[in-house]
Chains A and B, each alone.
Chain A
Amino acid sequence: SQQGEEDPQALSIQEGENATMNCSYKTSINNLQWYRQNSGRGLVHLILIRSNEREKHSGRLRVTLDTSKKSSSLLITASRAADTASYFCATDGNNRLAFGKGNQVVVIP
């Protein structure tokens, strides 16, 4: 089954800096999604980008999708301490979402 794989696995940045995470996948998709998980909580949906879209913005989030390279990136601009969390990409296929193992992002105040 296809699965998103995030890179890098862990990222530590200063507050105010930008954070970039990448995700690769193996097969064709209808959409790719990004989720955030704060420690001890459930996942929260951040953004969905469809296969015919190349870029999407939501507040301080920017997602790109390159279907030719089967990859996506999530950019968080002007990071805040509250952005400290794990970030997962998820790809649809075979009637289910396949989640990557997650990127841990620590924003240092």
Chain B
Amino acid sequence: DAGITQSPRHKVTETGTPVTLRCHQTENHRYMYWYRQDPGHGLRLIHYSYGVKDTDKGEVSDGYSVSRSKTEDFLLTLESATSSQTSVYFCAISESWTGDEQYFGPGTRLTVT
């Protein structure tokens, strides 16, 4: 497995609270991604990063923010969690460009009550 870890792996939180998910890689890959996976929707891109401090929005970015202060860490923040953000969140990395093969972390299951 590529060296990608996600924390926490499971989290239950209440509506309106902020939540931060962490992705950590040991591969020194330039690109990092956050996806959410929901039944019937497949995998949808939230945000991605193409370098330290360089990020861009994906197709479902509303309600989410990201930060990347180091090559190895990519944080996803839900500013005020809502029940619609209950999902499984996956981090992924790729080496050279966004169309390259991606390596995925184990996922974080988030439940917003």
Report A's interface with B, CB cutoff 8 A: 1, 30-31, 33, 40-45, 48, 88, 92-93, 95-97, 99-102
* Interchain CB contact (< 8 A) of B98 among A1, A42, A96, A100: A96
| CB contact under 8 A between A101 and B40, given known A42-B90, A42-B107, A92-B99 | yes
Known: A42-B4, A97-B102. 11 other contacts (CB 8 A): A31-B99, A42-B107, A44-B104, A45-B103, A88-B42, A88-B43, A93-B99, A95-B98, A95-B99, A96-B48, A101-B40
Inter-chain CA distance A40–B102, complex, in Å, is: 18
Say yes or no: B98 contacts A45, CB within 8 Å: no
CB < 8 Å neighbour of B104 from A33, A42, A48, A100: A42
* Complex CA–CA separation, A44 to B40 (angstroms): 20
